[in-house]
Amino acid sequence: MHITWFGLYCGLMLSISAFSIDIILPAFPGVSAGIGASSQQVQLIVPVYLFALGLAHPLFGALSDRYGRKIIIYLGLGIFSLGALACIFSTSLGTLLAGRFLQGIGAASGTVVCRAMIRDRFSGAELAQHMAVASMFFAIGPVLAPLIGYLIYDSVGWRGIFVFLIVFSVAMALATYKQQETLPPALRRTTGLRDMLLNFGLGYRHPQSRFFILMGSVSTCLIVTFLEHAQMVYEQLGADSRRFTYLFAFSSLGIVAGQVLNYRLIRHSGAVVSMRVGACIVSGTSFLIMLAALLDVLTDVNMTLLMLAFHTSFLIIYANIVSLALDPHRECAGAAAAVFGFTGYVAGSLMAAMITFIADESLRRWSVCFFLTALIILVATFNWKRQQ
């Protein structure tokens, strides 16, 4: 696997969205006590953040196609920092959710623009391979974020986590300054903003893009469903915040190994085969989690081992879904990435919120919903051949 500064940069920018979620998970009990909200209410900071993340994709995608990639990343990082500042001074659930909403809007610039930057430079198998490389660095977030979050929470309290996110945002702005622009002025779209926003439907009109955009929504729902309930699941399995942090970080190590495997699978068999292998593993591990929960034999240790296997394969699915959705749209990669992100995060977070309502803090009900969502992805991956 060939590692470059560009791959590292894109991976870190993509990781902002997941990093900002995972870093706050160990601090849920402190946040709940600090603002006087229930644990179920505090869980809302995940779907609210992702909902805003999706809503902002069309705007940032259109703007980046017209004005270039780097300037839009600067804009997004500024909004992200303002949201973190609002969270630092929040004293109620409403103000905290408002701050997280702003953070979600700002984080969207990194997600949509960096995917467009990769599409600016690569296509076909190369696109899938470089998306896998970026996803490998993206995996650093889920591994390190809960550890960093717990250390900050244990040392200075949960508000210190948002101070750290501001520092992280400034560091990424400096890295953006070093990164070359991938969309030169000659290739930028010169139509008005209104026309660019109307092109939002472009992805839906292409059969391949439409299929994988919808798959992206279900995949987002699957991972958000886990992230929302991870603290609750481990708590019911007897793990305190410190133990949860270590176990969660350990299970996330599978993401790095999974992207190395993904890169090799793409080279030898292509993105679709790689995606199907990942879907088989994800559905298998989610089935075992459900079975263990229903039989009341699920422990924090076997849950972690199963999620380790799950994490090796989830991003294999997701990274290939992204590349297959964007590949037909070289001429407007920003708009195509915006369509994917908008649909995936908005629809995925809404579906995850419904699962939260259905599960109602029940481990067994959550495990059933988790497996059924993974099963839908498995069926869809093998249905793609007929769609072609």
C-alpha to C-alpha distances, 193 to 58, 60, 63, 189, 340, nearest whole angstrom: 11, 11, 7, 10, 19
CA 81 to chain centre: 19
Q: Is the pLDDT of residue 327 over 80?
A: no
pLDDT at 369 over 70: yes
Please name the residues in contact with 48: beta carbons below 8 A apart, sequence gap of 6 or more: 97, 100, 101, 104, 349
Alpha-carbon span 130 to 109, nearest angstrom: 19
Q: Return d(Cα 103, Cα 17) in angstroms, integer.
A: 9
Six-digit token string for 117 = 């930057």
DSSP state letters, 28-42: HHHHHHHHT--HHHH
- For 364, the enclosing helix (H) or strand (E) is helix 363-387
Span 223-233, average pLDDT: 86
Q: For residue 4, what are the contacts with CB-CB under 8 A and spacing of at least 6?
A: 133
Gap between the Cα atoms of 148 and 154, Å rounded:
10
Tell me the C-alpha distance between 216 and 317, whole Å: 9
Tens digit of each residue's pLDDT (9 = 90 or more) over 108-166: 888 888 878 887 788 777 777 777 677 666 667 767 888 899 999 999 999 999 999 99
Least confident of 124-133, 222-231, 295-304, 309-318: 124-133
pLDDT of 186 above 80:
no
Is the pTM higher than 0.85? The answer reads: no
Number of other CB atoms surrounding residue 188 within 10 Å: 14
Q: Is the distance from CB of 333 to CB of 326 less than 8 angstroms?
A: yes
Looking at residue 200, its pLDDT comes to 61
Percent residues over pLDDT 70 in the chain: 89
Question: pLDDT exceeding 90 applies to what percent of the chain?
Answer: 33
Lowest mean pLDDT among 25-34, 76-85, 191-200: 191-200
The number of beta carbons lying within 10 Å of the beta carbon of residue 240 is 11
**How many angstroms separate the CA atoms of 134 and 122, rounded?**
13
* Helix, coil or strand: residue 296: coil
Pair of tokens at residue 170: 């400034």
Instruction: Check whether 198 has a pLDDT greater than 90.
Output: no
- 373: helix, strand or coil: helix
Q: Does the pLDDT of residue 318 top 70, yes or no? A: yes
Identify the structural domains of the chain with CATH numbers, from first to last: 5-180+201-387 (1.20.1250.20)
- Closest to 6 measured CA to CA, from 116, 109, 117, 106: 117
Picking from 20, 38, 18, the residue whose alpha carbon sits closest to that of residue 29 is 38
| Local structure of 74: helix, strand or coil | helix
Helix (H/G/I), strand (E/B), else coil: 95: helix
**Higher pLDDT residue, 224 or 133?**
224
Q: Which two tokens stand for residue 182?
A: 């991938």
Q: What's the helix, strand, coil split of the chain in %, to 5?
A: 85, 0, 15
Task: State the DSSP H helix or E strand holding residue 237, giving kind and residue range, or none if neither.
Answer: none
Of the listed ranges 59-68, 222-231, 250-259, the one predicted with least confidence: 250-259
Residue 202: burial class (beta carbons within 10 Å; 0-12, 13-18, 19+): middle
CA-atom Rg of the chain in angstroms: 19
- Sign for the CA dihedral angle at 205, 208, 211, 214 comes to negative
- Any idea of the CA torsion for 265, 269, 275, 277, to the nearest 10 degrees? -70
How many C-beta atoms lie closer than 10 Å to residue 206's C-beta? Answer: 17
- Which residue do the tokens 């467009």 mark? 116
